[in-house]
């Protein structure tokens, strides 16, 4: 406690001080827990709560749940939690049944690394961290329904994570029905002959392993040997979303290599269209929607076959099929399967020296170039740098439209993982191709007429001419001509022409890749999968869930030299032989199986937690249908259903938010839930930043010990620099909520965090400014309680007009602000009202005092409860009604509106300055004087100039 506080406390024993706040807050927190004040009932009645509540409109308000780190919370963490708590409290007071709780996302790397360092089991340290974080959060007075809380590491929870995995594993995506369906329905299609097996053999002739293989090609969760992101430094593989733009691990910043490894994947690409289209139904920040759209990356274009000799054809993906006549060479990704098949034994006669790279044979050139390309990341390969590299394969293909022979190159600017891994190069109209053609002295042909004055000979140009808004030229041969068409029409024409000949078709390509779903980690959900002696994967039956994590002696994945790409992963779970080998009866008698030893990625648990909050103790179902429909089902204005408000950081745009949408859609398709989107409204809160002070060596010094003098900053006598940055332990500038609660109380901390600025904007923390909100609460207290006697000072007198105006304007403004998550301006309005009341002096009218307390309750719930009780109420303020503004006191003043008929004044109305044209017209026509002046005559026209004039022209 600061000196001023204790001094003040001594002067007036009933003053609101930190000590009093601590007492009030602890008492009400205990009361809320004991009474179950925040217990939210389900319609089915299995979770008790106020029975009347389920008849009210529901509001499901949710935070992105925290990872319980060992460092505990700093004041930046609860910003969003306080905001959702204020909003939840406001909604309880405006007649909603509010679901608000918080769980813990507790699998993941930090606990595992801590375990590796200290030998403590990750469960032990994680559970301790959770307890610590729970205590810190409880101290803030968050109104969570604690019965609905859980951690993703609870076997009761991850049992259902594994169950969902099985649902995904046991389904396939039916492109005709455009939804996931149980895998048996696919097997039936093969069995009945409705669908052909890949090699055309009848289903009955395939043995079990062959059938498993075929079905595996369709399952939404599947193991494959595709190239994955292997990170030797971390000892695990990573999802694309976990690799940075420069090809390194997001965690740890280690090099990431492409390696072919057998891994689990989720077929999220099957949902690309729906993930894209359904964004339109969501109330999300545009920036996040855009990031998802770009990540999914839908491109409309065409696939076109270019024959190579008599036996091969290169299929390209292009978004500019209209430029087909301008394709003067082709490029394959160096890893493309066709390369080896088309490379001739020797260079064709007279091959240009620049094309061969000085190599004796095409095979040698290709082998050499592949080596170089393998050492680069995709991003390096795609860099916009003008110096394009590559080498001629020695082969030629035929441009199907012009009939010309075009040379085939390999070059690393074409990626294997996109489109077909092959392109038709149109140097005149694509910058990368232009640069390459310049370097390799390849021909260029202008087929899109430049709209500027560069002329039509690309030899004179500095760069390609890329435009969609131009005419096609030089594009006619045989049976097809595009000349004179615009780009869009030319695309349609050439696509039809290709399709008629069976050498191309319109197609849609996505940037999105399947989601790599296995990790070589200990601290994650085990897969509910075992392998038989033939290596066939079997899903465990539901009755064998959960598959619990076994004890191991060594939690660490095997890590390697970060730069050594020739290594491969080894899982910690594989070290426990007793666990790995099991005898099970999976329907055909007891057999030996080997368990899957990879674990799920740390995103798994957060893919569906919103559903478990609805029905946390359901042992029979992932979520009961009644609870799901009530809390998340589609309704008016919310066609996809989903959480009413989801608050969290913008950094989750493509990882968590994309994965969760995908799982939700699978569960929807399989009929387990009625909503097809998890989060209807998303809001990204800003960050709380903090000053970082660094000494002359650039090392951060403890911010709390820095002094400010003469416009400079000093630490132990030495001048230090100051910059705004992140808050955290490592930058030695973390401020904990515990410190602020001890110094001022949780209500002050809540107010300060909410008052700092608009919720979506980042703001710098300033401990010295916290006291401002403390003073507000002290004035509020003084307006209701006598500091010397502790008596409530309100009277039963009627408030004066000015007070009523101030009160109702505040109620009106605060209500609107609360609805729109503008808590900073809501606090400004409460402050203004409180100041008005302080200035007016004298005891408050009870009706004013009570409404002031109710207005404050969502923001500062402890002091509000205390004052409410002292004002004589027995029940908690939490479920009281929020005050309603009387419009008569809300309007500032009135203006006089003149109503004319045929230009003559017939009436004068006193109206609000903000009145709308429509309202004013209604008021004017309803006026008795106007009615009698019209004398029943019809109206031809009404001219309204709100707020001052209405002119009526009778018929
Ligand atoms: C001919 C062409 C002419 C192209 C032109 C562009 C402009 P988005 O929009 O990102 O989908 N492309 C296709 N596959 C590729 C790969 N694996 N690696 C590198 N580039 C690839 O881009 C599609 C365009 O990117 C395609 O259209 C192709 O170049 C190139 F005036 O084909 B285009």
Q: Which amino acid residue places its CA nearest to atom 8 of ligand 1?
A: 299
**What is the residue extent of each domain of the chain?**
56-170+275-296+517-557+595-685, 182-218, 298-510, 688-889, 892-954
Mean local confidence (pLDDT), 768-781: 97
Residue entry with tokens 């003084």: 782
Q: Which residues contact 52 (CB under 8 A, 6 or more apart)?
A: none
Ligand 1 site-directed mutation target among 423, 424, 512, most atoms within 8 Å of CB: 423
What spacing in Å lies between the alpha carbon of 433 and ligand 1's midpoint?
Answer: 10
CATH code of domain 892-954: 3.10.20.590
Q: Which amino acid residue places its CA nearest to atom 7 of ligand 1?
A: 430
Q: 52 pLDDT band (50/70/90 cuts)? A: low
Single pTM value for the model: 0.86
What spacing in Å lies between the alpha carbon of 928 and ligand 1's midpoint?
Answer: 72
| Listed range (1-10, 116-125, 688-697, 757-766) with the worst mean pLDDT | 1-10
What spacing in Å lies between the alpha carbon of 710 and ligand 1's midpoint?
Answer: 59
Q: What is 298-510's CATH superfamily? A: Valyl/Leucyl/Isoleucyl-tRNA synthetase, editing domain (3.90.740.10)
Helix (H/G/I), strand (E/B), else coil: 594: strand
What spacing in Å lies between the alpha carbon of 308 and ligand 1's midpoint?
Answer: 20
Residue of 669, 568, 537 whose CA lies nearest to 261: 568
- CATH for 688-889, among 3.30.360.10, 1.10.730.10, 3.40.50.2300, 3.40.50.1240? 1.10.730.10
Can you tell me the distance from the alpha carbon of 690 to that of 700, in angstroms, rounded to the nearest whole number? 12
430 lines ligand 1 (CB under 6 A): yes
Q: What pLDDT shows up at residue 4?
A: 44
pLDDT in tens, 474-532: 999 999 999 999 999 999 999 999 999 999 999 999 999 999 999 888 999 999 999 99
319 lines ligand 1 (CB under 6 A): yes
429 lines ligand 1 (CB under 6 A): yes
CB 674 within 8 A of CB 641: yes
Residue of 441, 513, 499 whose CA lies nearest to 321: 499
Q: 321 pLDDT band (50/70/90 cuts)? A: very high
Residue 954 CB: number of other CB atoms within 10 A?
Answer: 14
| Listed range (376-380, 675-679, 901-905) with the worst mean pLDDT | 376-380
User: Is 70 exceeded by the pLDDT of residue 49?
Assistant: no
Q: What pLDDT shows up at residue 50?
A: 62
| Listed range (267-276, 557-566, 745-754, 922-931) with the worst mean pLDDT | 557-566
| Distances in whole angstroms, Cα of residue 458 to Cα of each of 203, 403, 470 | 57, 21, 16
Q: Which amino acid residue places its CA nearest to atom 25 of ligand 1?
A: 318
Q: Which amino acid residue places its CA nearest to atom 18 of ligand 1?
A: 414
Helix (H) or strand (E) holding 647: strand 645-648
Can you tell me the distance from the alpha carbon of 522 to that of 526, in angstroms, rounded to the nearest whole number? 9
Q: What pLDDT shows up at residue 168?
A: 98
Class of domain 56-170+275-296+517-557+595-685: alpha beta
CB 29 within 8 A of CB 144: no
Residue of 907, 791, 910, 899 whose CA lies nearest to 849: 791
Mean local confidence (pLDDT), 218-223: 97
pLDDT in tens, 256-265: 988 878 899 9
Can you tell me the distance from the alpha carbon of 816 to that of 570, in angstroms, rounded to the nearest whole number? 57
Q: What pLDDT shows up at residue 436?
A: 96
User: Is 90 exceeded by the pLDDT of residue 235?
Assistant: no
User: Is 90 exceeded by the pLDDT of residue 46?
Assistant: no
Q: Which atom of ligand 1 is nearest to the CA of 333?
A: 17
Q: What pLDDT shows up at residue 51?
A: 59
CB 354 within 8 A of CB 324: no
Ligand 1 site-directed mutation target among 418, 421, 427, most atoms within 8 Å of CB: 418
Q: 653 pLDDT band (50/70/90 cuts)? A: confident
| Distances in whole angstroms, Cα of residue 283 to Cα of each of 92, 275, 666 | 22, 14, 21
Mean local confidence (pLDDT), 933-950: 91
What is the bridge-based pairing of β-strands 422-425 and 329-332?
antiparallel
Can you tell me the distance from the alpha carbon of 55 to that of 878, in angstroms, rounded to the nearest whole number? 18
Average pLDDT over the chain reads 93
Residue of 83, 245, 140 whose CA lies nearest to 684: 83
| Listed range (230-239, 596-605, 748-757) with the worst mean pLDDT | 230-239
pLDDT in tens, 395-421: 999 999 999 999 999 999 999 889 999
448 lines ligand 1 (CB under 6 A): no
pLDDT in tens, 604-626: 999 999 999 999 999 999 999 99
299 lines ligand 1 (CB under 6 A): yes
| Listed range (239-253, 358-372, 835-849) with the worst mean pLDDT | 239-253
Can you tell me the distance from the alpha carbon of 614 to that of 59, in angstroms, rounded to the nearest whole number? 12
418 lines ligand 1 (CB under 6 A): yes
Q: Which amino acid residue places its CA nearest to atom 28 of ligand 1?
A: 318
User: Is 90 exceeded by the pLDDT of residue 917?
Assistant: yes
Q: What pLDDT shows up at residue 11?
A: 60
- Percent of the chain clearing pLDDT 70 (strictly above): 97
What spacing in Å lies between the alpha carbon of 300 and ligand 1's midpoint?
Answer: 11
Q: What pLDDT shows up at residue 155?
A: 97
* Long-range pairs of 430-438 with CB within 8 A, sequence gap ≥ 24: 430/320, 430/464, 430/466, 431/463, 431/464, 431/466, 432/388, 433/464, 434/458, 434/461, 434/463, 434/464, 435/386, 435/387, 435/388, 436/331, 436/388, 436/390, 436/409, 436/411, 437/328, 437/329
* Ramachandran angles phi, psi of 339, nearest 5°: -55, -50
Mean local confidence (pLDDT), 20-31: 98
Name the maximum alpha-carbon separation found in the chain: 108
What spacing in Å lies between the alpha carbon of 665 and ligand 1's midpoint?
Answer: 31
Q: Which amino acid residue places its CA nearest to atom 9 of ligand 1?
A: 299
């Amino acid at each position: 406690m600061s000196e001023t506080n204790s001094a003040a406390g001594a002067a007036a024993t009933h003053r609101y001080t930190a000590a009093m706040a601590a007492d009030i807050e602890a008492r009400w927190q205990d009361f809320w827990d004991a009474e179950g004040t925040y217990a939210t009932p389900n319609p089915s009645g299995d979770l008790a709560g106020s029975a009347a509540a389920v008849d009210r409109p529901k509001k499901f308000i949710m935070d992105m749940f925290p990872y319980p780190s060992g460092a505990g919370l700093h004041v930046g963490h609860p910003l969003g939690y306080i905001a959702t708590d204020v909003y939840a409290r406001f909604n309880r007071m405006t007649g909603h049944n509010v679901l608000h709780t918080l769980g813990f996302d507790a699998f993941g790397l930090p606990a595992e690394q801590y375990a590796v360092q200290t030998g403590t089991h990750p469960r032990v340290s994680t559970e301790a961290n959770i307890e610590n974080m729970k205590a810190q959060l409880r101290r803030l007075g968050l109104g969570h329904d604690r019965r609905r809380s859980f951690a993703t590491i609870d076997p009761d929870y991850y049992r259902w994570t594994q169950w969902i995995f099985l649902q995904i594993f046991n389904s396939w995506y039916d492109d005709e029905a455009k939804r996931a369906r149980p895998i048996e329905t696919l097997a039936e299609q093969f069995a009945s002959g409705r669908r052909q097996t890949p090699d055309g053999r009848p289903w009955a002739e395939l043995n079990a392993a062959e059938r498993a293989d075929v079905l595996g090609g369709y399952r939404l969760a599947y193991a494959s040997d595709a190239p994955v992101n292997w990170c030797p430094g971390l000892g695990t593989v990573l999802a694309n979303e976990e690799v940075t733009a420069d090809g390194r691990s997001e965690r740890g910043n280690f090099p990431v290599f492409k390696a072919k490894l057998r891994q689990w994947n989720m077929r999220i690409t099957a949902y690309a269209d729906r993930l894209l289209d359904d964004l339109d139904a969501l109330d999300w920040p545009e920036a996040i929607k855009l990031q998802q759209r770009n990540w999914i990356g839908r491109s409309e274009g065409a696939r076109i076959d270019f024959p190579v000799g008599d036996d091969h054809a290169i299929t390209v993906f292009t978004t500019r099929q209209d430029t087909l006549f301008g394709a003067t060479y082709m490029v394959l990704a160096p890893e493309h399967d066709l390369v080896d098949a088309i490379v001739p034994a020797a260079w064709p006669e007279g091959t240009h020296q620049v094309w061969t790279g000085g190599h004796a044979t095409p095979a040698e050139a290709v082998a050499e170039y592949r080596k170089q390309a393998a050492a680069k990341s995709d991003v390096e390969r795609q860099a916009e740098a003008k110096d394009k590299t590559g080498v001629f394969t020695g082969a030629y293909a035929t441009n199907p439209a012009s009939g010309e022979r075009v040379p085939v190159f390999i070059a690393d600017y074409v990626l294997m993982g996109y489109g077909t891994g092959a392109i038709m190069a149109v140097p005149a109209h694509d910058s990368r191709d232009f640069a390459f053609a310049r370097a390799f002295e390849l021909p260029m042909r202008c087929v899109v007429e430049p709209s500027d004055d560069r002329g039509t000979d690309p030899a004179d140009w500095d760069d390609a001419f890329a435009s969609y808004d131009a005419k096609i030229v030089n594009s006619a041969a045989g049976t097809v001509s595009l000349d004179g068409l615009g780009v869009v029409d030319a695309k349609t024409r050439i696509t039809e022409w290709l399709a008629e000949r069976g050498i191309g078709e319109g197609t849609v390509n996505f940037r999105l890749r399947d989601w790599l779903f296995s990790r070589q980690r200990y601290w994650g959900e085990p897969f509910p999968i075992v392998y038989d002696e033939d290596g066939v994967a079997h899903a465990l039956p539901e009755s064998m869930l959960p598959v619990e994590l076994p004890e191991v002696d060594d939690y660490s994945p095997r890590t390697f030299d970060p730069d050594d790409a020739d290594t491969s992963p080894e899982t910690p779970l594989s070290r426990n032989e007793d666990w790995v080998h099991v005898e099970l009866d999976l329907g055909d008698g007891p057999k030996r199986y080997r368990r899957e030893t990879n674990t799920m990625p740390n995103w798994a648990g957060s893919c569906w937690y919103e559903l478990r909050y609805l029905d946390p103790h359901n042992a029979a179902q992932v979520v009961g249908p009644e609870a799901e429909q009530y809390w998340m089902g589609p309704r008016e204005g919310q066609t996809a259903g989903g959480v009413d408000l989801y608050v969290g950081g913008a950094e989750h745009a493509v990882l968590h938010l994309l994965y969760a949408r995908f799982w939700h859609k699978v569960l929807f398709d399989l009929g387990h839930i009625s909503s097809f989107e998890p989060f209807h409204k998303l809001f990204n809160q800003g960050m709380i930043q903090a000053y970082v002070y660094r000494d002359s060596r650039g090392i951060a010094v403890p911010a709390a010990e820095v002094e400010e003098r003469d416009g400079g900053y000093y630490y132990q006598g030495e001048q230090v620099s100051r910059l705004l940055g992140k808050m955290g332990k490592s930058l030695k500038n973390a401020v904990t909520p515990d410190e602020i609660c001890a110094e001022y109380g949780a209500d002050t901390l809540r107010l300060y965090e909410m008052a700092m600025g608009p919720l979506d904007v980042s703001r710098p923390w300033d401990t010295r400014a916290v006291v401002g909100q403390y003073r507000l609460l002290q004035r509020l207290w003084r307006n209701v309680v006598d500091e010397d006697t502790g008596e409530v000072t309100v009277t039963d007198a009627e408030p004066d007009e000015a007070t009523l105006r101030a009160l109702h304007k505040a109620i009106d403004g605060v209500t609107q602000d609360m609805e729109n998550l503008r808590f900073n301006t809501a606090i400004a309005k409460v402050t203004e009202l409180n100041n008005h009341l302080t200035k007016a002096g004298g005891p408050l009218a009870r009706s004013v005092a009570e409404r002031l307390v109710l207005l404050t309750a969502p923001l500062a719930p402890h002091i509000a409860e205390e004052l409410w009780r002292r004002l004589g109420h027995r029940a908690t303020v939490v479920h009281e009604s929020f005050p309603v503004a009387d419009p008569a006191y809300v309007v500032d003043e009135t203006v006089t509106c003149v109503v004319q008929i045929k230009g003559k004044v017939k009436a004068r109305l006193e109206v609000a300055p903000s009145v709308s044209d429509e309202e004013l017209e209604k008021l004017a026509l309803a006026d008795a004087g106007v009615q009698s002046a019209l004398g029943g005559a019809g109206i031809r026209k009404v001219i309204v100039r709100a707020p001052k004039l209405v002119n009526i022209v009778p018929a």
